[in-house]
Structure 1
Amino acid sequence: MTPVLDYSTFRRSSHIYTFYRWEISYEDSRRLEGC
């Protein structure tokens, strides 16, 4: 595995993780507002 590919994979997985966390936070905030 080349460092460039490894870095690209890291950036992509990091972006997906960040979006996933944001989506979870958005759902949590909506759930709290619904209470």
Structure 2
Amino acid sequence: MDSYGFLTIPKANVTVNFHTKKPTAYSQPRLR
């Protein structure tokens, strides 16, 4: 489910992360 959401709108996730300054929430599990 998580992988699908990332592949669906990875740009949206990145934008939110940058805005909330919390790229570790999505970037961490994705890179790992």
Greater helix fraction, Structure 1 or Structure 2: 1
* Largest Rg, 1 or 2: 1
| The two structures share one fold, judged by TM-score above 0.5 | no
Normalised by the length of structure 1, the TM-score is: 0.39
